Amino acid sequence: MDNYNGFLSLMGNKIIAKTLKHKRLYFEVDNKDIIEVSDYLFNKLGCRLSTATAQESYRGIEVLYHFSHDKTGDYYCPRVVISDKKNPKMNSITPLFIGAEWIEREMAEMYGVYFEGHPNPEPLLTGNHPRNLTQPLRHRRNNE
């Protein structure tokens, strides 16, 4: 926990809930704060975006970014929960650095999340598909 004290004292008011595992800090932020937190992690601390994952759960669609601080081996993982399942939208962090472009395009085509501010919102893997696949990783239930 000692490595994360500097970060927690600065951004503590934006964090809703947090969990600390061995060398990984998972915390939840609101949609309006994700750009500021990512800006601090990428530019001031010098972290690298390792990957980003998405999952559909009972709370909504959760998008989890994994930032890796290479000098010490620690991970900072902010999570955004989008509760509107019919039209999910959130802010995109691609204007900060270009490395997040492709992973956000893939999350958009697999889960249907619209990233506001993304410079190139085309599907990555299923463009020009002969069968027109839409959102293959969402749950399919009969009563929705």
Partner 1 sequence: MSWYNKRLAKSIWVFHVSASPCNNCDIEILDLLTPKYDIERFGIKLVGSIRHADVLLVSGVINQKVAPKVKQIYDQAPRPIFVVGIGTCPASACSFKRSYNIVEKREDIIPFDLIIPGCPPKPEAMIEGVAKLIGVLNG
Partner 2 sequence: MNKNVIPIGPYHPLLEEAEYFTLQVDGETVVDIDLEIGWMHRGHEFISESKTFTQSIYLVERICGICSTSHPLACAHAVEDIDNIEIPLRAKYIRTLVGELERIHSHLLWLGLAGHFIGYDTLWMWAWKYREPVLQMFEIISGNRNHYGMLRVGGVAKDVDPNKIKGLLDILDDIQKKLEMIAKAAKDDPVLKSRLVGVGKLSKQEAINYCAVGPTSRASGIPADVRKDEPTDAYGLVDFDVIVTQNGDVYDKLVLRILETFESIKICNNCKFLILSKSRTSSRIRGRRAGSPRPGPRGTQGPGGPGRGAAMSRP
Site membership for partner 2, residue 124 (CB under 8 A)? yes
Per-residue binding string, partner 2, 36-65, x by CB under 8 A, is: ------------xxx---------------
As measured in angstroms, the least distance from the Cβ of 73 to partner 2 is 4
> By C-beta, is 117 or 136 nearer to partner 1?
136
As measured in angstroms, the least distance from the Cβ of 125 to partner 2 is 4
Q: How deeply is 78 buried, as exposed, middle or buried, from its count of CB atoms within 10 A (0-12, 13-18, 19+)?
A: buried
Q: How far apart are CA 101 and CA 74, in angstroms?
A: 23
Q: Which stretch binds partner 1 (CB under 8 A): 4-12, 25-33, 48-56, 129-137?
A: 129-137
Q: How far apart are CA 103 and CA 18, in angstroms?
A: 24
Site membership for partner 1, residue 134 (CB under 8 A)? no
3-state DSSP assignment of residue 107: helix
Of residues 90-109, those binding partner 1 (CB under 8 A): none
As measured in angstroms, the least distance from the Cβ of 136 to partner 1 is 5
In 30-131, where do the E strands start and end? 48-57, 60-69, 74-82, 89-91, 114-116
Site membership for partner 2, residue 98 (CB under 8 A)? yes
Which one of residues 9, 128, 142, 143 is an interface residue with partner 1 (CB under 8 A)? 128
Count CA within 13 A, CB hemisphere, residue 108.
21
Q: Are strands 74-82 and 60-69 parallel, antiparallel or unpaired?
A: antiparallel
Site membership for partner 2, residue 87 (CB under 8 A)? no
Size of the site for partner 1 (CB under 8 A): 7
Nearest CA to 127 among 104, 141, 109, 111?
109
